[in-house]
Amino acid sequence: MSQIEPVNGGDRPSYALSAFAKLTAISTFILICAGALITGNKAALSDPTWPKFAGQNYPTADTFVGGMRYEDSHRIIAGTVGILIAVLAFWVQFKVRKRAPKVLAWGAVACVVAQAVIGGFIILYLRPMVVSILHACVGQALFMMLVALAVILSPKRVGSVESSGTPRPGASFFRIQCVVACCVVYCLLILGATVRHAADVFMPQLVLHISLALFTVVMLIWLSLQVFTRYRDVADLRRVIWTLFTLIAVQYGLGVVAIFANRARLQPEAPDQAHVLLSTAHVGVGALILISFLIMALRAFQHLPVSQAAEKHQTLTEKLA
Q: Would you tell me which residues interact with other proteins (CB under 8 A)? A: 41-46, 48-49, 54-55, 63, 65-69, 71, 126, 199, 268-271, 273
Minimum distance from CB of 60 to other proteins (Å)?
Answer: 11
Cα–Cα distance measured from residue 296 to residue 285, given in angstroms and rounded to the nearest whole number:
16
Minimum distance from CB of 49 to other proteins (Å)?
Answer: 7
Minimum distance from CB of 137 to other proteins (Å)?
Answer: 22
Strand partners, 56: 53
Cα–Cα distance measured from residue 65 to residue 123, given in angstroms and rounded to the nearest whole number:
18
Of the pair 124, 249, the CB lying nearest other proteins is at 124
Minimum distance from CB of 50 to other proteins (Å)?
Answer: 11
Of the pair 4, 269, the CB lying nearest other proteins is at 269
Of the pair 94, 125, the CB lying nearest other proteins is at 125
Of the pair 94, 269, the CB lying nearest other proteins is at 269
Cβ atoms of 294 and 182 closer than 8 Å = yes
Of the pair 218, 269, the CB lying nearest other proteins is at 269
Minimum distance from CB of 67 to other proteins (Å)?
Answer: 5
With vertex at residue 247, the alpha carbon angle to CA 306 and CA 8, rounded to the nearest 5 degrees, is 35
271's CB contacts (< 8 A; 6+ apart) are 40, 41, 42, 261, 264, 265
Q: 246-255 burial by CB neighbour count: b if 16+ within 10 A, else e?
A: ebbeebeebb
